[in-house]
Structures are given as C-alpha cells and as structure tokens.
Amino acid sequence: MDSATYAAGLASLNIDLTDGTTSKSSSTTKSISLDGLIRLCGDLGPFQFIHFFFINLISMSAGMVAFYYVYGAAEPKHRCQLSPSVWPNDVHYLPINQTHEFYINAYIPKEKDGIWNKCMRYTMKDKNSTLLNCPNGWAYDRSVFGYTFTEEANLVCYHEPKKSWMSTLMQTGGFSLLLIGSLGDKYGRRKTTIITTIFLCVMCVLTQIFMQWIPMTVDTKFGLLLLNQLVSGLTVSTYSVAFILMLELTSAAHTSLVGNIALVAFTIGEAILTLCAYLTFDWELLKWTNTFFIALVLPYLYFMPETPFYLCGKRQYTELEALLRRIATRNNRFEAEWYPSYQEFLRDQSMANVHNERKIPFHQQLRQLFSNRNSLIKLFIINLIGFTTYLLYYEISYGLEVLNISPYIGILIGAVVEAAGYISSSLLIVTKLGRKGSFILMLGLTTACVLMIPFVEKHSALASVFIAQFGKYTVSGAISVSWIFVPELFQTSIRSSANGLFIAFSHLGAIIAPVINTSVNETYLPITYYASSALAFIVVLLTMLLPETKDRTMDA
C-alpha cells in the first residue's frame, strides 16, 4: 500500500491512539496519546530490536559484575603450609608424593569429615604438640577456581571477614542510583547512561592497569580492588537507567516483554561470566573480561536515542519529531501513517500548555513527590518491595553443594532457574492477574518456600535444596514483575528518580541478607526465615493498596 492510498484510508477511519484499537468514525474524538503515536511509528520493529540488542549489552555486563565476586574471591580448598625445614616450597594443596603426604598428615590435623584443617598445624609431628595459626602461610588447591584474589591476599581463616568487603562495596555502588536516577530525569536517560558508562569504563581500566602492572603491596592492591568494586557497582545504576530507556522506546503493549528480555539478558551475563571464569582461571583476567564487556557498548553510545516520553515531558518537540521519524523510517512506516496524528498531538499539547504555561522545575517536582501523602505511601511500599524481594533472593539462594556438582554447573543451574522465573512472570502479567496479581502470587509462593526450608532441612538437605531453588524461581518472578510494575506507577518526569530509590533499597536488602546469615548463630537461623516470611506477608498486604498498571501507557 502506498502513502496516498493509506492517507485516503486514514480519512475514513478514526484510530483510537489511546489503546491502539481501530473503530469506525464516530462523533466522539479521543485525544491522541504519545503511546498511540509510537504504535503508529512501530512499537516493536527493527528500530527497537537493533537498539535493544546493544542496550542489553549493559544488562549482560551488570550480570557479570554482580557475580564476579563468586569466582574472583572464591575460597579454594586450603591448609597450612609445612615449615620450610620440613618441606621447602610447600605450595601445593594436594601431596605430590607419598613422603609429602606423610608430612602433611603428621603436621596438619584432620576434621571429622577427613579434610585437613584449614587454619592450624602442629609445631612438631607429635599430635600432642602446640597448634599454630599457619605461621608459614597457606597451600591452596587451584584445580577448581584457579588463581583467586583470596589466595593472593590470603583472605582465609582470621582474614576471611575482609573478603566480604568486595561484595559489600559492589552493592554499595548501587546506592549511586539515588543520584543517578534523578539525573536521568533531569538531563535525560541517554546522556546519563553515556556519562555513567564512560566514567565506569575509565575508572575500571585505570585501577586494573595499576593493579596488574605497577608494583605494590598486597594491601594496596586490595584497596584498589575495593575501589574497582565500588565503581563497578555503577553498572547497576547504568542498567537501571537503560532499563527505563528501553521501556520508553516501546508502547504499553510491549513493556512487559521488553523488560523481561532485559532481565533475562542479566542472567545471560551470569552464564558468560561463568564460562569466562572456567576458561581464564585467574582473577585478574576475569576482571579484564568484565571491563571488556563494559567497554563493548562504548561505540554504540553515540547512536543511542533519547526516549520519546522524556523529550515530550521536556517539551522538546523538534527532537521528538526527529526521533519519531527515525523510528517510523527504520520500521518501514510511511509518513502519512503517523505524521497527521503527530500534528494533532502537537495541537493538543499546545492547548494543554496554554493552561499550564509555567514549566515546573525538576527540583520542585521532586519536592512535590516527597510532600504528597499518596506519593509518599507509594514510595514507602515500593521501597519495601525492593528491600524484601532482594533480601529473600539472597537468603534463599541455597547452595547446591549437597548435589556434589561443579560450582560452575551450580551457578548455571541458578541462572537457568532465575531466567525461568523471569519468563514465567512475563507470561503471567499479561493475563487477568496483571502486574499486581502476578507479584502477589509469586511473592506468596516465595513466602511459603522460605517458611518450609527450616522444617524440611532437618529431615532432608536434598529436599531443602529443591524447595530453595523453587523459591529462587518464584522470587525471581516477583523481582521481574516489580521491575516492570514500579516504573509504570510514576509519571515520566520522576520515573527514573523513583525507580532509582526502589533499586537502592533493593541493594540494601542484598547487603543485609548475608550479614544476617553470617552473624546469627546456626541454632537461631530458622528465626531469620520466619521473620523474612512475616515481612514478605506484610509486603503482600501493602501491595494490594497499589493501583493496577496493566495496559496503562507510560505517558499516563
């Protein structure tokens, strides 16, 4: 069909651009929405596919950074080194011959499970002699994880608590969203993503160059690695803003699909990191792999578009028209299919602006957000949702050690379970359950799993693993729904700020969960499961107060 034919057909029809349906002409004319315009230009065509592919490189790099700690700071099997006078250069965990094995068994005490003690050795071959805290250092087993930073800095035994700083600082970097989310609303999704990504890449490259090629003490290198981890936490901020950008490049008909593709890309990043860890077998090479993936997106940043919703919200109509034309051209839509509707949209906007000529400054919009009672209640609920879902995610990420499988296979299984949760939720939220019903269902099932684990664990460790993995599947689904649900609850002008606050509180839950698990005595650990379940139940009740956003446009 050529443009003239389409224009003639358009005149005889009245297209409802609010919900995307077509009906015969009527006396009632609905105002044209930006969501409807995007549908006319093509809301899921070649333009979106090309940009989603490159933007999801950011999603993958976020997944890689989040799981670097699992391999880069993994704790390999280790024992005390023998005294040099007994066995010089005792750096191999496993004995290299029978004589070596005899001395190891003579000087290293064994635990009940037959494994050599990790932190103590005898002063003499006599089992009644004094035990020492590994005065000559440790011998490590590199057969599983290769050369880790744990080995380089000896972050084992009484130094082990320092190792958790790497994970904590990476999560702490996510709190930058409190600022970066607001910058995304004030200066644009595109500009914020570009600046954050370039800063992130430059800082990672500089710290890694210093660590690898500048001679320094282990403590100094540890400090640089902690700085690198803190900066790497910015990937979460970039991922969050890019996530909003992707949602705003399509219409309400496809936000759930687009959002869940981004979340699945995150799990693909986990799988890529696992493969790279298996191939590199070295913590520094693995770090460079992470940075390479971050840098991979740099050439694309020049071509990254701003979102139609942001441009419209800022009344940048010239840029908006140019962007809509780019979308329509790439998606093979004729100008007659969308431009007349765009002109009508501009007339509606002009009339609206006459009644509200004064543009509200961004800081005043934020002030209104935090001073309005309904907005505060909404913010409180979404922050509690973020905190609770991530607390449960890290609490329920039960290890697969009892299955006696490779840790690499264990991580891949976890990634598949997580991706399955994301995909299932994407199917649920387009049903009658909607966003709210799907979230309540997934979080309710997670609550049941968390309650069951302490009881089942007493009878069967294997059964508790399967329940925990099902819980990981459901909590991943709940997280997926919340990542779609929360941005749809807020208007374009404050969406990135509210979403940044939501994800920052999510990271607070991610930081607190391991602290609770390591500081609480094993006897009282079941109480933490009950407390988490109670908190999740409260969140379910509070979620019922939120409005349903299914089929709501992003410019609503």
15 DSSP β-pair partners:
22
What was the pLDDT predicted at 225?
95
Query: Using the 8-state DSSP alphabet, how is residue 16 labeled?
Result: -
Mean pLDDT of 99-106: 92
> Nearest CA to 64 among 56, 75, 54, 52?
56
Instruction: Write out the CATH class of domain 359-555.
Output: mainly alpha
Average pLDDT over residues 299-327: 93
Among 80-84, 254-258, 323-327, 548-552, the least confident range? 548-552
Chain centre to alpha carbon of residue 205: 22
Count, in order, helices (H) and strands (E) of the chain.
23, 6
Interatomic CA distance for residues 214 and 202, integer angstroms: 17
Task: State the Rg of the chain over Cα.
Answer: 27
Sign of CA dihedral 313, 316, 320, 323: negative
Per DSSP, what are the bridge partners of residue 110?
Answer: 116
The amino acid present at 129, given as its one-letter code, is S
Which class is 41-74+163-349 in CATH?
Answer: mainly alpha
Each as own residue / partner, the long-range contacts of residues 128-135 (CB below 8 Å, 24 or more positions apart, any chain) are 132/80, 133/157, 133/158, 134/80, 134/81, 135/83
Diameter of the chain measured on Cα atoms: 100
C-beta separation of 333 from 41 below 8 A = yes
pLDDT at 291: 95
Alpha-carbon separation of residue 99 from 51, 109, 118 (angstroms): 62, 17, 21
Query: Residue 495: CB partners within 8 Å, gap ≥ 6?
Result: 185, 244, 487, 554
pLDDT of 8 strictly over 80: no
* 155 vs 127: which has the higher pLDDT: 155
Residue 211 has a pLDDT of: 95
Out of 222-231, 350-359, 389-398, 450-459, give the one with best mean pLDDT: 222-231
> Are 532 and 452 in contact, with CB atoms under 8 Å apart?
no
Tell me the residue type at 89. N
The candidate with the shortest Cα–Cα distance to 184, out of 318, 293, 306, 299, is 306
Q: What is the pLDDT of residues 192-211, one digit of tens each?
A: 999 999 999 999 999 999 99
What is the reported pTM?
Answer: 0.85
CA distance 304 to 192: 11
For the chain, give the percent of residues with pLDDT over 70. Answer: 88
- The mean pLDDT value of the chain amounts to 86
The single-letter DSSP state of residue 157 is G
Burial 27-57, CB ≥16 within 10 A → b, else e: eeeeebbbbbbbbbbbbbbebbeebbebbbb
Position 19 scores a pLDDT of 43
pLDDT tens sequence across 450-465: 999 888 888 887 888 8
Per-residue pLDDT tens over the stretch 32-91 = 889 999 999 999 999 999 999 999 999 999 999 998 988 999 999 999 999 999 999 999
H-assigned helices in 115-188: 149-152, 160-173, 177-187
Find out whether 45 and 328 touch, Cβ atoms under 8 Å: no
H or E stretch covering 131: strand 131-132
What pLDDT does 24 receive?
Answer: 39
**Residue 15 DSSP code:** E
Length of the chain in terms of residues written: 556
Q: Which residues of 141-152 are buried (b: 16+ CB within 10 A; e: fewer)?
A: ebeebbbbbbbe
Say if 41-74+163-349 and 359-555 have the same CATH topology: yes
Can you say whether residue 190 is alpha, beta or left, with left for phi > 0 and alpha for psi between -120 and 50 degrees?
A: alpha
Q: By three-state DSSP, how is residue 92 classified?
A: strand
Average pLDDT, stretch 139-145?
A: 94
Q: Which of 542, 431, 434 is nearest to 488 (CA)?
A: 434
The domain limits of the chain are 41-74+163-349, 78-141, 359-555
* Cα–Cα distance, 517 to 528 (Å, whole number): 8
Q: Give the pLDDT band (50/70/90) at residue 22.
A: very low
Please tell me the distance from the alpha carbon of residue 296 to that of residue 342, in angstroms, as a whole number. 36
Both tokens of 373, joined, read 């009672």
